Structure 1
Amino acid sequence: MSSIPSGLIVSCQAPADSPLHDREMIAAIAQTAVMRGAVGVRIDSPAHVEAVRKRISEPIIGLWKRQIPGYSVYITPQFEDAAAIAAAGADIIAIDATLRKRPGGETVSDLIAQIHDKLGKLVMADIDTLDAAIAAIEAGADVVGTTLYGYTEATQNLSPPAFELLEELAKRAEIPVICEGGIASPEMAKRAIALGADAIVVGTAITGIDYLVEGFNEAVKAAFS
């Protein structure tokens, strides 16, 4: 198994309706990120992971966002999704490790065990609360990330970055902790490291061209109105 990268990890994703969603575009963005110092990348879908793998040797945290009717869990929800990501070339498999109802009857513990035993891959547990993090660690996760803080029913009134959660995790966890979500500036990244993060995942602030342009455009329009 590969090791958990320490430092800046860049999430290279784009909305499905964006020209940047093209696999070669995502691969080029990922290659640029590692050329400029990123220690790894976070990539969604087998097709994109496969394209990125051809361009970089640095660690890839792979996931597959799958919307399953009746379930809120969507980040690599089942083993078959993890297997496809692993086959595409991911080094670490990110899964939704919240305490929500899961499809297929698999528990977080079942999924982590299968990824370890059948795929030989490390697991990043994307969590939203301290309870979910503790459960994921007990289930055998190799690294835990604050990815889903502010995006679940249990945390819908909270806004990332999850600095308080990160600080508590850093004190309790005996595995690496990644701060992901809401890191919008180098200053925020430095604060996360100071609070105990082993790595930082930055997405929108670096690669979210669609969202960034929309934000600037809305501000400019408002200024003219």
Structure 2
Amino acid sequence: MDTSKQIEKGLIVSCQALENEPLHSSFIMSRMARAAKESGAVGIRANSVVDIQAIQDTVDLPIIGIIKKIYEDSEVFITPTLKEVRAVCATGVEIVAMDGTTRERPNGEQLSDIVATIRKEYPNTLLMADTASLEDAKYAEALGFDFIGTTLYGYTNNTDGENIANDDFSHLRKLLKDINKPVIVEGKIDTPEKARKSLEIGGFSVVCGGAITRPQEIAQRFVDEIALIK
């Protein structure tokens, strides 16, 4: 089945747990993915080769694969270099996501070179650009990405503190007006209502993570609310 049709107008659940989190385990992430599928999710977003492989062994949903890696010479950390992109592609995931901002990449690599190389080596793999601004989105679209994601909106120096739902999803509306590629809505979608609205506006599909798969964040919201009692 066509991957784009599989994920269109549906929920993609981000099943990730970093090393400092209690649920950091490929086995646990595979079970998260299973729970997501049983709840009606149409896809999974996963971080690291081992997590991707564990999830592939558990569910048959399309996967957006990434590798998060920190390099000292760059702020880019989502599938930042050709090495990580190749590693994710080699797992056979349907979609590989990478930082699609205009920021300088590690080792002086150019995003245009990465895209050109992967198109030759893995012509059937779809590419998603995680962007933070309209400028990023236009840049990624010009490079030929298959999907444009709002993933980094609110997480970069020039968008710090922003939320995709601010001003009635004004950032998303701008992207949908100026970008021709499918826009996957991701980043701070923390309620079912925001997920629904983002698709009603015209988002191609929506990715939710912390609000579903990170119990620390979920519990913290309850604790913070209770703390307001005087």
TM-score of Structure 1 vs Structure 2, range by shorter chain: over 0.9
In the alignment, residue 179 of structure 2 is paired with which amino acid? A
The yes-or-no answer on 1:55 pairing with 2:61 is no
- The worse-fitting range, judged by mean Cα deviation, of 10-19 and 27-36 is 10-19
Match of 2:79, SS state, is coil
Paired residue for 2:202, among 190, 196, 202? Answer: 196
* Contact 2:76–2:104 under 8 Å retained in 1: yes
Measured in 1, the distance between the counterparts of 2:188 and 2:126 equals: 24
Measured in 1, the distance between the counterparts of 2:134 and 2:223 equals: 37
- 1:99 to partner: Cα distance: 1.0
Unaligned runs of 5+ residues in structure 1 are none
Measured in 2, the distance between the counterparts of 1:91 and 1:184 equals: 25
- 1:86 to partner: Cα distance: 1.8
- 1:221 to partner: Cα distance: 4.6
2:218 corresponds in structure 1 to 212
Measured in 1, the distance between the counterparts of 2:68 and 2:39 equals: 27
Match of 1:14, SS state, is coil
- 1:157 to partner: Cα distance: 4.1
Measured in 2, the distance between the counterparts of 1:99 and 1:31 equals: 35
Alignment of 1:72-151 (within 5 A): 72-120=75-123, 121-151=125-155
| 1:105-152 alpha-carbon deviations (Å, 9 max, x no partner) | 322221122222212311100000001100100001000010000100
Measured in 2, the distance between the counterparts of 1:86 and 1:143 equals: 16
Match of 2:185, SS state, is strand
- The worse-fitting range, judged by mean Cα deviation, of 170-179 and 26-35 is 170-179
Match of 2:188, SS state, is coil
Measured in 1, the distance between the counterparts of 2:208 and 2:222 equals: 19
Alignment of 1:167-182 (within 5 A): 167-182=173-188
1:187 corresponds in structure 2 to 193
Match of 2:90, SS state, is helix
Alignment root-mean-square deviation, CA: 1.8
Measured in 1, the distance between the counterparts of 2:2 and 2:27 equals: 25
Q: TM-score, normalised by structure 1?
A: 0.93
| 1:71-126 alpha-carbon deviations (Å, 9 max, x no partner) | 10000001110111122232111000111111123222211222222123111000
- 1:32 to partner: Cα distance: 1.2
What is the aligned length?
224
- 1:174 to partner: Cα distance: 1.9
Unaligned runs of 5+ residues in structure 2 are none
Measured in 2, the distance between the counterparts of 1:61 and 1:219 equals: 33
* Contact 1:64–1:76 under 8 Å retained in 2: yes
Evaluate the alpha carbon distance shift between residue 161 and residue 85 of structure 1 in structure 2; reply closer, same or farther with a 3 A threshold: farther
- 1:208 to partner: Cα distance: 1.5
